[in-house]
Structure 1
Amino acid sequence: MEWMVAITGLPTDILILVLLAIAGAFAGFVDSIVGGGGLISVPAMLLTNVPPSVALGSNKLSSIFGAGSAAITFLRNGMVDFNLVRKLLPFTFIGSILGTIAVVSMPPLYVKPLIIVLLVAVTLFVVFKKDWGEVNRTSQVLGKALYICMGFAFGIGVYDGFIGPGTGTFLIMGFIFTGFDFLHASANAKILNFTSNLASLLVFLFLGHVNILYGLAAGAGQILGAYVGSHLAIAKGSSLVRGVFLTVTTVMLFKLVIDYISTL
């Protein structure tokens, strides 16, 4: 950090805010397309040397701006199946609250092996099944399928509150399995991701684990990145989302494996 201060001539506090905004822009861009922006924003928050719980809480503050910006864009362009999503929102909201409460007292180490296996399976599936997520094959999600979606929405909400990075990616997986194409799955995922971020943020605020200034700085970048990313996704369609999906899941997989090995 000292060398950057020397080069830019900016005070340390200002430089941190600028770097968080830049990291937020990249995170918002990636997250708006396929999720996984937390892989960028959370490490950036940790580099400020705030406690891990404050880094997570501050990241949630920034994430609601990115997810909210992308969600508004997708909604305005009619990409969201709100009839389905509105039924899932309460489950994601409650799940995220429970996950956030758990994260302050329990390390997320124990669920990482399961996530690694899941990511490997889904990544290989997408690579070898070229047409998966290319065509929107769903009309209405009813009956047993709806109950499965509710359970999935709750589980992902818990995951977002408990760990966080990759939530949007897992939500997209779930919607694609339901029959949506990559683009519509990404649009639906943003609404639920915004909901889980908001629920988690409320808990972190209540516990005093949010640096408001850092969160707002990264959030400003997230708005810009999410605006560009969501418009690009709509313009380029499912093929772009599929390519970014494979890239992000691969990076996420390597990071989780390295993190898990380093803790053994």
Structure 2
Amino acid sequence: MDTFLSTIFTSNFLFLGIACFVAAFIDSIAGGGGLISLPAFMAAGLNPHLALGTNKLAAMFSTIGSACRFAKSKIINWDIVLKISPLSFVGAILGAKTVLLIDQKYLNPIALFLLILVLIYTLYNKKMGNINLFESVTKQSLTYGFILAFLLGFYDGFFGPGTGSFIIFGLIKIFKFDFMKASGNAKILNLASNISSVITFMYYGQIAYIYSLSIGVIMIIGATLGSSFAISKGTKFIRPIFLIVTFIVTIKMALNMWY
């Protein structure tokens, strides 16, 4: 029996390791990694709430890896993200507490509709995010940044799919970043919401630490390599990846609603 259980754990670990490495690599570039990693944890036999918490902790390590790599390249605007990221932290706590109380299905149609708008707008505006047009922070842009951080922090803690796409799109529209800078700065907001979500799931005992800590190491490697690849290739590479990831997330959410 011990040998049988050991074989099951080993096969689950190999499956999760491969799936989550790919998820972290993609997520570090354009978001959307949760589309791969969360179903992978569920396929490994974890119930939905436990899978959510376990994935959040593993993803936190992934986000740390990519955030550190972007920070080394001086892509992150610390003046902005340090001001608005606390709102992501608070929003994610509220979102994570809410998801443990009510069904996620009520948010799915709204998120799907918004993702479709993001996809259409980005496809239509071919020059959006190609050039960094950021000049300075204004009271208006900072106010919009606060709102963006809180709402997407809540969404990330509550639901998750498409968060990376929403944050990157929002940072481009509000602060006029290009895709490279938006992707790098998005990691800090993601990290803030990841940390608060993890704290909440830890409090409610919804994390399988043996999976999240071991897989988290693999995700750090995937995220570091992915962000390094993005930095070397530049905005022209990130934009198509962003569109592909957003399209896949949109289709996946639509299928979930349909079935």
Report the TM range for the smaller structure's normalisation: over 0.9
**Residue 183 of structure 1 corresponds to which residue in structure 2?**
180
- Separation in structure 2 between the aligned mates of residue 242 and residue 141 of structure 1, nearest angstrom: 24
Structure 1 residue 238 corresponds to structure 2 residue 235: yes
**Residue 150 of structure 1 corresponds to which residue in structure 2?**
146
**Residue 49 of structure 1 corresponds to which residue in structure 2?**
45
- Separation in structure 2 between the aligned mates of residue 13 and residue 37 of structure 1, nearest angstrom: 23
Gaps of 5+ in 1: none
**Residue 130 of structure 1 corresponds to which residue in structure 2?**
126
Instruction: Tell me the CA shift for residue 219 of structure 1.
Output: 1.1
**Residue 85 of structure 1 corresponds to which residue in structure 2?**
81
Aligned residues: 255
- Separation in structure 2 between the aligned mates of residue 140 and residue 109 of structure 1, nearest angstrom: 39
Amino acid at match of 1:255: K
Instruction: Tell me the CA shift for residue 81 of structure 1.
Output: 0.6
**Residue 248 of structure 1 corresponds to which residue in structure 2?**
245
- Separation in structure 1 between the aligned mates of residue 126 and residue 147 of structure 2, nearest angstrom: 28
Instruction: Tell me the CA shift for residue 216 of structure 1.
Output: 1.7
Instruction: Tell me the CA shift for residue 21 of structure 1.
Output: 1.3
Q: How is 1:1-264 mapped onto 2 (pairs within 5 angstroms)?
A: 11-178=7-174, 179-262=176-259
Instruction: Tell me the CA shift for residue 164 of structure 1.
Output: 1.4
Contact 2:42 2:51 (8 Å CA) reproduced = yes
Instruction: Tell me the CA shift for residue 252 of structure 1.
Output: 0.4
Contact 2:115 2:162 (8 Å CA) reproduced = no
Gaps of 5+ in 2: none
Contact 1:93 1:199 (8 Å CA) reproduced = yes
- Separation in structure 2 between the aligned mates of residue 173 and residue 89 of structure 1, nearest angstrom: 16
- Separation in structure 2 between the aligned mates of residue 115 and residue 174 of structure 1, nearest angstrom: 14
TM-score by length of 2: 0.96
CA RMSD, Structure 1 to Structure 2 (Å): 1.4
- Separation in structure 1 between the aligned mates of residue 258 and residue 77 of structure 2, nearest angstrom: 40
| Secondary structure of residue in 2 paired with 1:210 | coil
| Secondary structure of residue in 2 paired with 1:11 | helix
Instruction: Tell me the CA shift for residue 75 of structure 1.
Output: 0.5
